[in-house]
Amino acid sequence: MRKLKLFGTVLGFLLLFIGVVMSYFAIQNLSEIRPTGCYRDEGIHTFEPYDILPLQVENHMTGRYQRMNPTRTVYMVYYQTTDGTGYQWQAEGGSVRELAEQVYNRGAVERRVLSIPTENTYITVTADQTAESYTSELRQRHILTLGVSGVYILVYLMGWLVVWQRKKGLEQKK
């Protein structure tokens, strides 16, 4: 019973720590979302795949596998517009070259280009998205993360408050 209680305490504290970290990053990401007015819609463009290249990325596995293999290879499929505007886009094709080739063989993809004139750059989103839908989707995702982690933090603190009140009540009865 004592081991189970210790396990519950450690697990609860670990989840509390994760909740606090998630809340921090959600707030940070919410503050970094550009207003919709910062984007200029450049329209929908057709992107044609032109190359597949391996890329070394950090291995996020845990344990011995991560220590033995700190990086892993992913294959990126690179696209460029067919209309000569010079826009480019890349998509992860997977960790196996054959999967990347399947993505490459699907052919052309239509994507909306949203330029950011103040930074002289652009992003691409799916063709059905707009600047408004893109920013609202980002905002919703981060608010959901903040809400879930905030609810867990409140439940955790209320649980400790209940435990503290019970201990206090038991000590007063003695």
Q: What is the full per-residue pLDDT of the chain (174 aa) written as tens digits?
A: 788 888 878 888 888 899 999 999 999 999 999 999 999 999 999 999 999 999 988 877 777 766 677 888 899 999 999 888 999 999 998 888 899 999 999 999 999 999 999 999 999 999 999 999 999 999 999 999 999 999 999 999 898 888 888 887 777 776
- Per-residue pLDDT at 33: 92
- Per-residue pLDDT at 65: 65
For residue 96, the domain's CATH number is 2.40.50
| Same domain as 147, residue 89 | no
Instruction: State which residues form the domain around 75.
Output: 38-128
Given a contact cutoff of 8 angstroms between Cβ atoms, the answer to whether 50 and 82 are in contact is no
| Same domain as 108, residue 56 | yes
| Same domain as 119, residue 72 | yes
- The domain total for the chain is 2
| Same domain as 60, residue 123 | yes
| Same domain as 62, residue 117 | yes
Residue 100 domain flag: yes
One-letter-per-residue 3-state SS of the chain: CHHHHHHHHHHHHHHHHHHHHHHHHHHHHHHHCCCHHHCEEEEEEEEEEEEEEEEEEECCCCCHHHHHCCEEEEEEEEEEECCCCCCEEEEECCCCHHHHHHHHHCCCEEEEEEEEHHHCEEEEEECCCCHHHHHHHHHHHHHHHHHHHHHHHHHHHHHHHHHHHHHHHHHHHC
pTM of structure: 0.73
**158/142 Cα distance (integer angstroms):** 24
- Per-residue pLDDT at 66: 65
- Per-residue pLDDT at 153: 92
| Same domain as 47, residue 118 | yes
- Per-residue pLDDT at 48: 96
| Same domain as 114, residue 136 | no
